[in-house]
């Protein structure tokens, strides 16, 4: 659900609190609310930081990325940098699986490559 909320924020520009309220009403009892309320509102104010952290591994401008891929890269980078309790392999796998379902045809390969390169620099103690 974090991906969907990020996509909605990115595309519609709705306030985080509005998106959270909408999700509370629609997905009542269907998602991990503690995780959702921790992660989604933490990513949005850090978008510039996350984009800067991603830039060394990107082969194109952020605006040229598929919107879903951009959301997934920001989501994955946030977890690599700020959720060290989640193993980097889990972060990458989750983003790749979401890309397979919601992304462009070979978007999952791009997500895997970028996040793997980032993890090798960010999570050196896990390697």
Is-contact 102 3, C-beta < 8 A? yes
User: Which pLDDT does position 105 carry in this prediction?
Assistant: 92
User: Which pLDDT does position 3 carry in this prediction?
Assistant: 96
The H or E element that residue 55 is part of is: none
Structurally, the chain folds into a number of domains equal to: 1
User: Which pLDDT does position 79 carry in this prediction?
Assistant: 98
Measured N-to-C along each axis, helices 88-102 and 107-122 cross at an angle, to the nearest 10 degrees, of 160
What secondary structure, in 3-state letters, does 81-97 show?
HHCCCCCHHHHHHHHHH
CATH of residue 99? 1.10.940.10
User: How do the pLDDT tens digits run along the chain, 127 residues long?
Assistant: 999 999 999 999 999 999 999 988 888 777 888 999 999 999 999 999 999 999 999 999 999 999 999 999 999 999 999 999 999 999 999 999 999 999 999 999 999 999 999 999 999 988 7
User: Which pLDDT does position 28 carry in this prediction?
Assistant: 78
User: Which pLDDT does position 6 carry in this prediction?
Assistant: 98
User: Which pLDDT does position 31 carry in this prediction?
Assistant: 83
Give me the domain span that covers residue 44: 2-126
Catalogue the E-assigned strands of the chain: none
pTM comes to 0.94
């Amino acid at each position: 659900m974090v991906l969907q909320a990020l996509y909605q924020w990115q595309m519609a520009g709705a306030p985080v609190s509005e998106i959270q309220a909408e999700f509370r009403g629609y997905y009542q009892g269907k998602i991990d609310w503690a995780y959702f309320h921790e992660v989604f509102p933490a990513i949005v104010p850090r978008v510039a930081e996350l984009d800067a952290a991603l830039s060394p591994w990107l082969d194109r401008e952020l605006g040229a990325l598929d919107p879903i891929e951009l959301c997934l890269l920001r989501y994955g980078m946030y977890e690599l940098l700020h959720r060290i309790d989640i193993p980097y392999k889990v972060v990458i796998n989750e983003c790749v699986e979401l890309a397979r379902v919601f992304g462009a045809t070979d978007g999952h390969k791009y997500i895997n490559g970028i996040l793997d390169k980032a993890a090798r620099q960010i999570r050196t103690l896990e390697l």
